[in-house]
Amino acid sequence: MLLIEWSAARPYPQGVFSDPFFDLHNTFQAVLTTDGTETHVIYIYKCGDIMWDTYHSTSVVGYNIRGFFFENSLGSGTPGGLLRFGCGDNADFTNILYSFSSDNNPAEAACLEAYRNDQDLREIGTFEASFAHTCPCSINQAWFDRRFRFLQFHRAERVACYINRFPSTYQSMCCYDFNFFRNSFRALITQGPFSSHVFRFHPQFSRSNYLTFDERFHSLCCIVSQNCELFRERRPIKTCTGYRPPIRSWFWGDPHITTLDEGSYTFNGLGEYVLLRTNSEDFEVQARTKLAAPNTTATVFSAIAVSDSNRSSTVEVRIDEMDPNEFVVLYNGSDMSANLTSVNDTLEFTTVTVTRETTELISIALSSGVGVNVTLRLAILSVTLNVPQSYMGNTTGLLGNFDQDNTNDFTSRNGTMISSNSTDANIFMFGQTWQLLSNEESLFTYLNGQI
């Protein structure tokens, strides 16, 4: 409840002109009560204490939502219609009640309720929003960047939305225009009801809270009603300013390798090798090769192993020995292949997801932002890595130093570097330094007497 009193209030600009009107005064109280849905204003004044009602503008009572939606009570704006002259039946005091109910507009009421409820949570300011991933600038970048995943497609508006794949302190909703006839086709949306924004709860890992505090709030204020400014106040817009797409490297065949710094070479080592390892131990990728055919020295990739920070989660993708046109997928040593038989089948773990994108492609995404695509064709594995630029200068292995200088990519395990124009024999010797030294170093699972 709020009580306000005006005592001998005279019309502006009292004292400037000699008009007797400016000697009139009003003395009254206003009592405001509300439960968030029903609001009542009671005016209380003595008989004869209301002497003037309007001068420059008429008196109004009503409500205003953030300056863009308002409603005034009946009688507002009419001389004598709000604070009334005379005393009525009460010779001493007059009480006038005005009531407002947001139930008159259920959509507005629901949005306001969601807005009020969200104020009980910590505000997402500029500092808090900085913890959310920067959105890719185009839908093509979002699709290739394994740090993000598709969430939903709003068919009527032709809008596709992606979110960060793994939960963060705050999440990013990155929405893209998918209307071919608009100039902004495939671009990040930063205006309107589907503008990209920061939100609280991850829909994959905290779905109930996401639906209650994020999705419902957005729907009530931006879709059902036209109060998106309230939602934006609590869920600030997210742009693609500063976005840096991951760098891609690939290797295939017998084996041809392209480093992260776009150097390329052929290496026919036989065994298990470190493809990429971070000095900070955030992730590691290893590969196994086998002979391409009997009586030859050519090799091909036959298995890939990927681990996250501290090796708490390891995914292996290998060729099935019984059916060389089919994958075997292991997670921490357990065969999960039966759960990845159909296109779009997905395994979700705390720091890694594995998806069967097509009959020939398995994708792996790590919480570090690293993405690995493994393709199986003609009983040979081909692999593509997407590595965030934040790991520049922090990698070693057969895929190089990732420092935008491909002349130093041939750096051995002991730090010795050979020229990028070295002979095949010297390149082979460099590659052999990255062969796994023991089962303890290996990410692979050894079955049936394998060593």
pLDDT in tens, 242-275: 999 999 888 876 689 999 999 999 999 999 999 9
* Rounded distance between C-alpha atoms, residue 342 and residue 356, angstroms: 7
Tokens of 393: 């200068």
Please give the pLDDT value at position 84: 64
What percent of the chain stands above pLDDT 70? 86
Please give the pLDDT value at position 42: 85
Burial classification of residue 223, based on how many CB atoms lie within 10 Å of its CB (0-12 exposed, 13-18 middle, 19 or more buried): middle
Please give the pLDDT value at position 344: 92
Is the model's pLDDT at 76 over the cut of 60? yes
Is the model's pLDDT at 100 over the cut of 80? no
Is the model's pLDDT at 295 over the cut of 90? no
Confidence bin at 394 (pLDDT 50/70/90): very high
Q: How many CB atoms lie within 10 A of CB 225?
A: 21
What would the mean pLDDT of 65-93 be, rounded to a whole number? 62
Condensed to tens digits (0 to 9), the pLDDT of residues 142-186 reads: 999 999 999 999 999 999 999 999 999 999 999 999 998 888 999
Half-sphere exposure of 97 (CA within 13 A, CB side): 5
Tokens of 414: 């002991």
Helix (H) or strand (E) holding 330: strand 327-331
DSSP codes, 126-192: HHHHTTSPPPPSBHHHHHH-TTEEEEEEETTTTEEEEEESS--SSEEEEEEE--TTSTTTTBBP-SS
> Mean of the per-residue pLDDT values for the chain?
88
Give the residue extent of every domain in the chain: 2-103, 108-234, 247-432
Is the model's pLDDT at 85 over the cut of 70? no
Condensed to tens digits (0 to 9), the pLDDT of residues 330-352 reads: 999 999 999 999 999 999 998 99
Condensed to tens digits (0 to 9), the pLDDT of residues 395-448 reads: 999 999 999 999 999 999 999 999 999 999 999 999 999 999 999 999 999 876
Superfamily of domain 247-432: Mog1/PsbP, alpha/beta/alpha sandwich (3.40.1000.10)
Half-sphere exposure of 361 (CA within 13 A, CB side): 9
Q: How many CB atoms lie within 10 A of CB 314?
A: 19
